[in-house]
């Protein structure tokens, strides 16, 4: 009988964990837990998530257009764009209208696996036709897993100019593995989206964008924000690094420790620290308890790499504190660099079973200066070039070189590969594993069989660069089984890596590796990931920041057949040609 009473008590209190406020923090006494009691009071999908309630169809309309404000591009007049808050199993429907003159775009849903809807992943000429100026594309997909995600323009320049926003998928509170660690999960107020400001418009600019660096950091589009808390209570904060360039950020709260509970939307074993590092595209959920004397403190964000020297902050305010004294205050920007936690060094919440030996694929990453004569550089579209002549895109003339994978750059096809594979030119495709293509730029494909695990060995050899690179995997989660960087700062060749591996000097975590969709590959080091392609599609593994010159990416192709009715229902490309030379 006691067990039954306890069960009823738990169910009846799955209440407003996301609606908690300073005025109302008492548990709800909702007895009608089997019905959707929020239907009449809240027309949006931002609601407490409950058991045994039908999923909703959540509709959003995005108008993406230029603005006259500090941010060049906006969604519905704001940056970040409208937050999307839904419950697990809801259907998200977003109607995107492109109002950017003379430019095409697409929206990627960063971290969502798109099971059953690979054509909604938002990669132009791979999963869809680009959204041309004045036209509309309707995205519709299922929120199949809970976590902290975000959306952004597929184009790095559009994202940098302001096209991004948060996407939170929640579940009933009893299913949250770490809900006992916090009292409040105020998704709307406590989601912090970190972005960057640039001194000029990036979209449509023809100059070398690798020289245009951010000149400021923002939180939720503002120079500083405020977080209100009550003393002794613990809060869940959701952190999102929405910067498209290679800009890791360090985040800390003065005099407070934080506990990491999730990375890239997946729960991890809790780790308490003073500072966390987020790489571009990463998300992290932390818990902070207001256990200090009542007052005002600073949540600080400090940039690294291409954002080195930049900082922003938010006020972390206890209830009743008058923060006017902090307005003229200069925050202390010292960071404890001996106590930094980042995502791929964490451990997964639950143990997994990974095979000790699977097929592995080596991906060598480095910046190269390709020797080519000026007379051989080509300004035309690849589809206009004489097929038998080697193709050298003009970006190869950059003195700083271009980042490549296995000595090649990625080429987007002439037609959407997922929807119209027969229309794609056959001679532009090349195999990741066979290096025989005549061009330095081709559509690099790694063919995978469904449910056959693969190991991807990403080695940043560092012979021609001292940069680290962040990679994002579309559609397929990655188990990060190993990360290493040369302590002596020496370049790492393929032969030296294989020697280390065969000598048993590379230890793989096959028991509880973190599951992520975004990883960093340290300079003169490596990151090894495992993927299990358990659903079909064409999934991009890309270095987003590298694409300001030429794309550095591969395509993991898992067999799938898209019904003709679906293909016919999606917008066609018309006479569109991908700008695969100068403007890629």
Of the candidates 354, 446, 466, 352, which has an alpha carbon nearest to the alpha carbon of residue 401? 466
CA distances 515 to 16, 224, 256, Å, are 29, 32, 27
pLDDT computed for residue 133 by the predictor: 94
pLDDT digits (tens, 9 = 90+) for 66-84: 987 667 999 999 999 999 9
Sort strands 525-531 and 478-485 into parallel, antiparallel or unpaired. Answer: antiparallel
Question: E strands, 171-257, where?
Answer: 191-197, 216-219, 224-229, 234-241, 249-253
Q: Read off the pLDDT of residues 147-177 as tens digits, 9 standing for 90 and up.
A: 999 999 999 999 999 999 999 999 999 999 9
CA–CA dist 101, 134 (Å, integer): 8
How large is the average pLDDT for residues 263-291?
98
Cα separation of 276 and 172, whole Å? 27
Segments in 53-151 forming alpha helices (H): none
pLDDT by residue (tens digit) across 414-435?
999 999 999 999 889 999 988 7
What DSSP string describes 420-487?
Answer: -GGGS-GGGEEESS----SSSEEEEEEE--TT--EEEEEEE--SS----EEEEESSS-EEEEEEEE-T
Question: Quick one: pLDDT at residue 155?
Answer: 94
pLDDT digits (tens, 9 = 90+) for 550-571: 899 999 999 999 999 999 999 9
Band of residue 187 on the pLDDT scale cut at 50, 70, 90: confident
Residue 396, Cα to own-chain centre: how many angstroms? Answer: 28
Q: Is the pLDDT of residue 516 over 50?
A: yes
Task: For residues 541 and 477, give the distance between their C-alpha atoms in angstroms, rounded to a whole number.
Answer: 11
What is the C-alpha separation between 187 and 166, in angstroms, rounded? Answer: 10
Pick one of 3.30.360.10, 1.20.200.10, 2.60.40.420, 1.10.630.10 as the CATH number of 359-568.
Answer: 2.60.40.420
> CB–CB of 552/558 below 8 Å?
no
Least confident range of 109-118, 203-212, 436-445: 203-212
pLDDT at 203: 87
Residue 181 CA to residue 174 CA, distance in Å, equals 12
| pLDDT tens, position by position, 214-268 | 999 999 999 889 999 999 999 999 999 999 999 999 999 999 999 999 999 999 9
- The predicted structure's pLDDT at residue 39: 44
Per-residue model confidence (pLDDT) at position 7: 45
- Using the 8-state DSSP alphabet, how is residue 378 labeled? E
Pick the CATH number of 43-172 from 2.60.40.420, 3.50.50.60, 3.20.20.140, 2.60.120.260: 2.60.40.420
pLDDT band at 373 (very low <50, low <70, confident <90, very high): low
Average pLDDT over residues 451-462: 96
Mean pLDDT of the 124-145 span:
96
pLDDT band at 401 (very low <50, low <70, confident <90, very high): confident
In 9-75, DSSP assigns E strands to 57-66, 73-75
Strand-pairing partners, residue 250, are: 277, 302
Q: Tell me what pLDDT residue 338 has.
A: 80
CB 77 within 8 A of CB 46: no
Q: How far apart are CA 556 and CA 143, in angstroms?
A: 22
Please tell me the pTM assigned to this model. 0.89
Q: What is the mean pLDDT of residues 184-188?
A: 90
Q: Is the pLDDT of residue 197 over 80?
A: yes
Rg over CA atoms, the chain: 24
203 token code pair: 């979209």
Tracing tokens 């309707």 back to the chain, one arrives at 138
234/253 Cα distance (integer angstroms)? 14
500 is written with which tokens? 């280390």
Please say if the pLDDT value at position 548 is more than 90.
no
Q: 4-48: per-residue pLDDT in tens? A: 444 444 444 333 343 333 223 223 333 332 334 344 334 579 999
Task: Write the DSSP assignment of 185-207 as a string of letters.
Answer: --TTTSEEEEEEE-SS--TT--S
Per-residue confidence band for 328, with pLDDT thresholds at 50, 70 and 90: confident
Query: Which of the pair, 436 or 14, is modelled with greater confidence?
Result: 436
Give me the pLDDT at residue 16, please: 38
Residue 3, pLDDT above cutoff 50: no
Same fold, 43-172 and 359-568: yes
pLDDT confidence of residue 170: 96
Whether residue 394 is predicted with pLDDT greater than 70 in this model: the reply is no
Burial environment of residue 90 by CB neighbours within 10 A (0 to 12, 13 to 18, 19 or more): buried
Q: What is the pLDDT of residues 471-486, one digit of tens each?
A: 999 999 999 999 999 9
Least confident range of 10-19, 88-97, 283-292, 381-390: 10-19
Predicted local confidence at residue 457, as pLDDT: 98
Q: What is the mean pLDDT of residues 523-533?
A: 97
> What was the pLDDT predicted at 330?
77
Q: What is the mean pLDDT of residues 382-409?
A: 65
Mean residue pLDDT of the chain comes to: 87
Q: For position 22, what pLDDT does the model report?
A: 28
Q: What count of other Cβ atoms lies within 10 Å of the Cβ of residue 379?
A: 9
Report the alpha-carbon distance of residue 177 to residue 142 in Å, rounded: 22
Lowest mean pLDDT among 276-285, 303-312, 346-355, 573-582: 573-582
Under CATH, to which class is 178-346 assigned?
mainly beta
The residues spanned by each domain of the chain are: 43-172, 178-346, 359-568
Look at residue 547 and tell me whether its pLDDT is greater than 90.
no
């Amino acid at each position: 009988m006691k067990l039954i009473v306890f069960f009823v008590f738990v169910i009846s209190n799955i209440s407003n964990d996301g609606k908690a406020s300073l005025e109302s923090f008492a548990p709800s006494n909702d007895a009608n837990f089997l019905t959707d009691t929020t239907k009449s009071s809240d027309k949006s999908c931002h609601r407490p998530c409950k058991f045994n309630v039908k999923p909703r169809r959540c509709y959003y309309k995005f108008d993406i257009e230029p603005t006259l404000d500090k941010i060049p591009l906006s969604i519905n007049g704001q940056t970040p764009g409208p937050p999307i808050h839904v419950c697990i199993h809801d259907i998200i429907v977003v109607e995107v209208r492109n109002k950017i003159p003379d430019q095409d775009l697409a929206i990627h849903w960063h971290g969502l696996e798109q099971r059953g809807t690979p054509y909604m992943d938002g990669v132009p000429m791979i999963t869809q036709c680009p959204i041309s100026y004045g036209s509309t594309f309707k995205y519709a997909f299922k929120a199949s897993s809970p976590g902290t995600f975000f959306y952004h323009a597929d184009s790095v320049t559009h994202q940098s100019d302001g096209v991004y926003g948060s996407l939170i998928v929640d579940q009933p509170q009893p299913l949250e593995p770490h809900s006992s660690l916090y009292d409040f999960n105020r998704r709307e107020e406590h989601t912090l989206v970190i972005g960057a400001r640039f001194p000029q418009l990036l979209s449509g600019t023809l100059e070398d964008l690798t020289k245009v660096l951010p000149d400021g950091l923002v939180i939720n589009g503002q120079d500083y924000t405020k977080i209100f808390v009550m003393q002794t209570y613990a809060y869940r904060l959701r952190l999102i690094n929405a910067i498209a360039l290679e800009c890791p950020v360090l985040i800390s709260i003065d005099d407070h420790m934080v506990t990491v509970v999730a990375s890239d939307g997946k729960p991890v074993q809790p780790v308490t620290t003073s500072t966390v590092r987020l790489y571009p595209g990463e998300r992290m959920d932390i818990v902070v308890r207001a256990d200090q004397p009542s007052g005002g403190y600073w949540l600080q964000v400090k940039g690294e790499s291409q954002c080195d020297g930049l900082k922003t902050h938010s006020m972390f305010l206890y209830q009743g504190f008058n923060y006017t004294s902090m307005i003229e205050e200069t925050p202390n920007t010292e960071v404890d660099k001996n106590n930094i936690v980042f995502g791929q060094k964490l451990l997964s919440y639950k143990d997994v079973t990974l095979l000790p030996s699977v097929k592995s694929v080596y991906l060598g990453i480095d910046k190269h200066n390709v020797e080519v004569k000026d007379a051989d550089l080509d300004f035309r579209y690849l589809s206009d070039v004489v097929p038998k002549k080697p193709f050298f895109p003009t970006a190869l003339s950059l003195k700083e070189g271009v980042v490549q994978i296995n000595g090649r750059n990625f080429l987007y096809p002439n037609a959407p590969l997922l929807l119209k594979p027969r229309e794609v030119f056959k001679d532009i495709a090349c195999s990741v594993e066979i290096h025989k293509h005549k061009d330095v730029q081709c559509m690099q494909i790694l063919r995978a069989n469904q449910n056959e695990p693969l190991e991807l060995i990403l080695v940043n050899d560092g012979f021609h660069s001292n940069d680290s690179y962040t990679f994002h995997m579309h559609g397929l989660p990655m188990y990060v089984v190993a990360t290493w960087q040369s302590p002596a700062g020496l370049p790492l060749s393929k032969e030296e890596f294989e020697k280390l591996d065969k000598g048993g000097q590379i230890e793989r975590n096959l028991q509880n590796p973190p599951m992520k969709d975004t990883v960093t590959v340290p300079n003169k080091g490596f990151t090894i990931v495992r993927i299990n392609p358990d659903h079909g599609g064409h999934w991009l593994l890309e270095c987003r920041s590298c694409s300001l010159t030429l794309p550095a990416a591969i395509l993991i192709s898992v067999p799938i057949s898209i019904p003709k009715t679906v293909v016919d229902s999606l917008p066609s490309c018309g006479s569109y040609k991908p700008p695969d030379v100068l403007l890629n």
